[in-house]
Chain A
Amino acid sequence: MIKRVHLDHAHMQHLLKAMIRIRRFEAKCVELYQAQKILGFLHLYDGEEAVSVGVMEALTQDDAVIATYREHGQALARGVDPKCLMAEMMGKLNGCCRGRGGSMHFFDRARRFYGGNAIVGGGMPLALGVALADKMQGRSAITACFFGEGAVDEGEFHETLNLASLWRLPILFVCENNLYSMGMAVERAEADIDFVHKASGYRVAGEKVDGMDVVAVESAARNAIDRIRSENEPYFLECRTYRFRAHSMFDAQLYRSKDEVEVWRKKGPIVRFQTWLEANRLIKPEELATIEEEVDKEIAAAVAFAEAGPLEPVSELERFVTMEEVPS
């Protein structure tokens, strides 16, 4: 049901560009990782772009986001500056967190982006607090709480859904179900893999959406947010998606077949949307070329910004362990 997505020419290009930006940003990250300019873990969002892009389209700047550790796409789709993100990836002072968080811990106060969180499910209770504080302070904001299906294994998922429902908090739960928590297939981890059904156990209404279809995600998210506002209660979206690449750069992918990955790649969010646009003559080749060129420029600028960025002086290592004041 496509209800409130106005698929005009500009919006279609915008959605496609947002997904291509994430894909190419991460492709560059892989190069920089191989060149050892990015270290540690690199959890790629490759294949899942439609989820963040679709959901973020439905949010306003007043809304809040709780992200996961696979949050490059979530941050970019939220509008966090790719330059600050790339600098963060490279551990530079001009990164969004001064190079202290790296790939798994992007924060951006100005965009109400309350953190990538590298403890699976660890961000979910934060969503309760953000939504509660907004409500208690009279703001009508929504908190979008992203988590993978692996978080459903954790107690925090259940505690959080229960409290969100009990306290009628305006939270949009976005389950990015990519079918594997690291190497653990969802059906090997969960007795009931119907997550919408699980949510209903806490009286949280929800629906499944094709997470490889950006328009379907945006549409579902817009409907969900309308419903959160009108019913004054949380809502649950299960976005079925797939991670094309390894869990991290250390993953030999023994737990799934190459054929399976290939089947999903054919359903990829970018190839699918782009093919549809092209088949219906909704995008011209030169428009696509322009999008790709602009994205490449943005990313080149981000890399240049990151490369030129200074390192945080070691003398500041303990700064912000305790804060002098609460930032306003």
Chain B
Amino acid sequence: MNAPQATAAATRLTYREACKQALRDALLSDPRVFLMGEDIGRYGGCYAVTKGLLEEFGEERIRDTPLSESAFVGAGVGSAMVGMRPIVEIMTVNFSLLALDQIVNNAVTIPHMSGGQFAIPLVIRMTTGGGRRVAAQHSRSLEGWYAHIPGLRVLTPATVEDARFMLKGALADPNPVIIFEHVMLYNMEGDLPSDMKEVDIAHAKVRRAGRDVSLITYGGSLFKTLQAADALASEGIEAEVIDLRVLRPLDTKSILDSVAKTRRCVIIDEGWRSGSISAEVGMRIAEEGFFELDAPLRRVCSREAPIPYAAHLEDACLPQAATIVAVARELVRPS
């Protein structure tokens, strides 16, 4: 993908390796941290993120679970109430639907409902997104749903540095945090500056500066958007690419700052358009940045259908660089 070449002061590694190093770090630095999830131990992780951790840390701390999402997520919630720092892996966001009650009714409700008697310092990692030709039940992007819920922090690391360091921030947060790892990113390589020790988990980030249009995105769509920005640049359109990074709480200021500069905005979201995080971003601009706009807001989202298996249909369903280019171009230079 679009990552720069390694320099002397950086290490080149995959997103997968960055996730693993983050987990290993967490286990080494805090004895309260333990991992639970399906096939994270002996199998090595469905996406090989946890490979080798069982051998290094043992079965007490790398807990293979049966296919009981509700029970092991709830066990994460319960253990977080009693002093542990669980990191629960749900194989994919699609399976998290089986644990929704524990996340929504317990993890995010108990601190408030108990009048602040309990915090739930629970981290849940799960893959999200489409592109692997595995059809509707394995390809959803439901991070926007989770971003609807007060009490959660929702992180979408799209770069190697965020994959490497967002977990540290998540574990320091006394509240439940969900980290969405886009399934198409695990093999991506990137450079990790060797002096980097942490990243913030509160702010969006400008991944490419530009003056003509803001392209606001996150997660698996970031690199498609950066590709689109390159293509637009070759046409003389300088797009600014904002990586939201944190879907909840949303960094409205960074969004408004960018739009105030470019006066045009396209939001790119692998979720469906209706009731999506893109809708929320757009509405915040409408509420607080309306008079900065020189053109209507635009969105590139997934088509409103379950993600199909057939490659041409799946590609047509998901946001693609060419669509982003077309929508942004039309916005800047209406035909």
Binding site for B on A (CB under 8 A): 64, 66, 95-101, 105, 107-109, 114-115, 117, 119, 122, 124-134, 136-137, 155-156, 159-160, 162-163, 166, 318-327
Contacts and interface: CB of A to CB of B under 8 A. Distances in A.
Contacts of B114: 97, 100-101, 105, 107, 109, 115, 320
A101 B112 CA distance: 9
User: Interface centre among A97, A326, A327, by most B CB within 10 Å?
Assistant: A326
A131 B102 CA distance: 17
Nearest to B99: A125
A136 B34 contact: yes
B109 to A, nearest CB: 9
26 contacts: A95-B115, A97-B113, A97-B115, A100-B114, A101-B115, A107-B117, A109-B118, A115-B110, A127-B78, A129-B76, A129-B77, A129-B84, A130-B78, A130-B81, A132-B75, A133-B84, A136-B79, A137-B84, A162-B71, A320-B111, A320-B115, A321-B112, A322-B151, A322-B153, A323-B111, A325-B174
A327 B84 CA distance: 13
Contacts of B113: 97, 100-101, 105, 107, 115
A253 to B, nearest CB: 28
Interface string B165-179: 000000000110000
Contacts of B76: 129
B292 to A, nearest CB: 28
Contacts of A134: 82
A128 B106 CA distance: 14
B65 A163 contact: yes
Interface in B146-170: 150-151, 153
B73 interface: yes
Contacts of B65: 163
B106 A122 contact: yes
Q: Interface size bucket, B side?
A: 35 or more
A163 B78 contact: no
Contacts of B150: 318, 321
Nearest to A163: B71
A96 B115 contact: yes
Contacts of B70: 125, 155-156, 159
A61 to B, nearest CB: 15
Given A105-B113, A327-B117, A130 B72 contact: no
Contacts of B34: 136
Given A98-B116, A101-B115, A126-B77, 16 more contacts: A66-B78, A97-B117, A100-B115, A108-B117, A126-B74, A129-B74, A129-B81, A130-B81, A132-B78, A133-B83, A163-B66, A163-B71, A163-B72, A321-B111, A321-B150, A322-B175
A279 B41 CA distance: 62
List 10 tightest A-B contacts by C-beta distance, closest first: A129-B78, A125-B74, A159-B71, A98-B115, A159-B68, A133-B82, A126-B78, A129-B79, A107-B114, A320-B116
A136 B76 CA distance: 13
B68 A132 contact: no
A136 B60 contact: yes
B176 to A, nearest CB: 9
Interface in B279-318: none
A223 to B, nearest CB: 25
Contacts of B82: 64, 129-130, 133-134, 137
A108 B78 CA distance: 15
Contacts of B77: 125-126, 129
Interface in B77-98: 77-84, 86
Contacts of B110: 107, 115
A232 to B, nearest CB: 15
